[in-house]
Amino acid sequence: MSENNAIPSAVIFGCAGTTLTDEERRFFQTVNPLGFILFARNVETPDQVRALVSALRSTVGRDDAPVLIDQEGGRVQRLRPPAWREAPPGAAFVGRPPEALRLNFRLIGRELAELGINVDCAPVLDVPISGAHDIIGNRAYGQTPAQVIELGRAACDGLLDEGILPIIKHIPGHGRALVDSHLALPVVETSREELETSDFAPFRALRDAPWAMTAHVVYKAIDPRAPATLSPKVIGEIIRGTIGFGGVLVSDDLSMKALGGRFDERATLALEAGCDVVLHCNGMLEEMQAVAKAARPLTGIAQERLARANRMRRTPQAWDVAEVGARVEALLA
């Protein structure tokens, strides 16, 4: 049940450490962001994470505010041993029964739910090509759209089984990027026909997912001037059109070096292009203040998409963690 009746701002913020500073509390109370995202710098113990999640939500007065984390498995997981399980990377499930991945994400989902985290930035639906930058690499669920579709669906189902919302990423496809978008702007020169046949196909098949995250990638055949995150044409014509995605569209991190310009400009362009929400991750207050100046209240259609996404959560059923973990290991053996 929400306590804050004000329309949230269309932004998700990170924070700097394992507890909130007084300055962060005041900032979040003033800005009223839609939600928050956690990283390894915010994680020490289960009790500490639960307390931080509760503190973040208390700043906006909404106990259902989205709290996100990247918990894919492999090299992209913010919760790690000894407090949490070491989950395998996506590539470990290629050629295995989809049940293995669904159960793997049920295990992940339960860990997140126990901490109060309710949105996972997973699964990756990118189809990597030979010679692409390794930023996707073994995070991918195969080298073909068919493989990625089957396993991507299983991952989404596993999270939804535990009441956790998945975010499919990086729409409309990051698999051809020759550079890491954290560090530079990838430019893809592939024809639109080939993109639609391959890269876009997993996102089209999972267009009913509750959330999706944009790619900071330029597709020259569609919009040679702007990356997908900032492109009205890519978002309107491809993501909402050809792909048909109808859920909550969140930008990838605005602080990534693929994007240029001031932070208020980045936020403005992403929202004007058609993102429902913008994401800023690094917890740097000065940058967040700039983003907040440009962030507007959620639009009516964004609120409808959020409500529809929340209705997709399933009621978790009782099951034994040890038994499910053993089943995953057996299916991967």
Q: What is the pLDDT of residue 40?
A: 98
234-293, pLDDT tens digit by residue? 999 999 999 999 999 999 999 999 999 999 999 999 999 999 999 999 999 999 999 999
Sign, CA torsion 242/264/14/297? negative
Q: What is the pLDDT of residue 4?
A: 64
Q: What is the pLDDT of residue 233?
A: 98
256-272, pLDDT tens digit by residue? 999 999 999 999 999 99
Instruction: Specify burial of residue 225 (Cβ count, 10 A radius: 0-12, 13-18, 19+).
Output: exposed
pLDDT at residue 329 above 50? yes
pLDDT at residue 1 above 50? no
Q: What is the pLDDT of residue 317?
A: 93
Instruction: At 22, list the tokens.
Output: 């007084």
Q: What is the pLDDT of residue 3?
A: 54
pLDDT at residue 30 above 60? yes
Total length of the chain:
333
Hey, which residues are catalytic here? 182, 252
